[in-house]
Amino acid sequence: MEDLFRTLPKLLREMSDSEEVREAVVFAAWRKIAGESLQMHAVALRLFNKHLIVAVSSETWKKHLESLSGQMIFKINSVLGQAVVTFIDFRVDEETILTERRKNVKSTLSEEELKEIALDEVTPKLRGSADAIKDDNLRYQFLLAAGSALAHKKKLSEKLKTEKL
C-alpha cells in the first residue's frame, strides 16, 4: 500500500489537467491521513479549486476538525508532493456519513455461513436448471452466485417493506 502512495505525486504531476484524477488522488490522501477511526466521522466529498469539501457527522466533529485543518492540509500536500489543497470546508452531513459507514461495515458472518444462506435461497426449479451444468465446480459457483443474488433481493425487499411502515 505504501508503494501506491509513493506513486501518487508522480501520477498527479502527469495527470494534473484532469480534475477527476486530482480529486481521486486527494481523496486517497485524505483517507490515508484520516485513518480508519476518523473515516467513521468524516468523508471527503469534493475537491473544488483547491478546496476540499468534507462531510462530518456532527457539529462537534466539525469544530474539532476545523481546529486541526492546518495540520491536515500540510499532511495531504506532503503525501502528494505539492500544494493541491489550500482549504478544507467541513460540512455537517449525517446522511452521507451513515451511508459510508454502511459501506464499510464488515459482515459478522463467516464465509461458510454466507454460502449456506445463499444456497438456502436457491429454488428447486433453479437447482434443476443448474443440473444441466456438467462441471461440478461451475455448477456450485453458479448456485452460489444465484443464491447470493436472491438473498440480496430478498433483503432489499424486506428493507423496503419496513421503510414503508
CATH code of the domain in which 38 resides = 3.30.300.180
User: In terms of domains, do 100 and 115 share one?
Assistant: no
User: In terms of domains, do 56 and 129 share one?
Assistant: no
Tell the burial category of 140 from Cβ atoms under 10 Å away from its Cβ (0-12, 13-18, 19+): middle
Q: Which helix (H) or strand (E) holds 47?
A: strand 42-48
User: In terms of domains, do 99 and 143 share one?
Assistant: no
Grid cell at residue 55: 462531510
User: In terms of domains, do 45 and 21 share one?
Assistant: yes
- pTM, two decimals, is 0.59
**pLDDT one digit per residue (tens) for the chain, 165 residues:** 455 556 666 666 666 667 887 888 889 889 889 888 888 899 999 999 899 999 999 999 999 999 999 999 999 999 888 899 999 999 999 998 888 877 766 555 677 887 888 888 888 888 888 888 888 888 888 888 888 888 877 777 776 666 665
Dist CA 13 CA 144 (whole Å):
44
Contact 92, 117 (CB under 8 A): no
User: In terms of domains, do 135 and 99 share one?
Assistant: no
User: In terms of domains, do 79 and 11 share one?
Assistant: yes
Domain carrying residue 68: 2-104
In the chain, the number of structural domains is: 2
Place of cell 467541513: 90
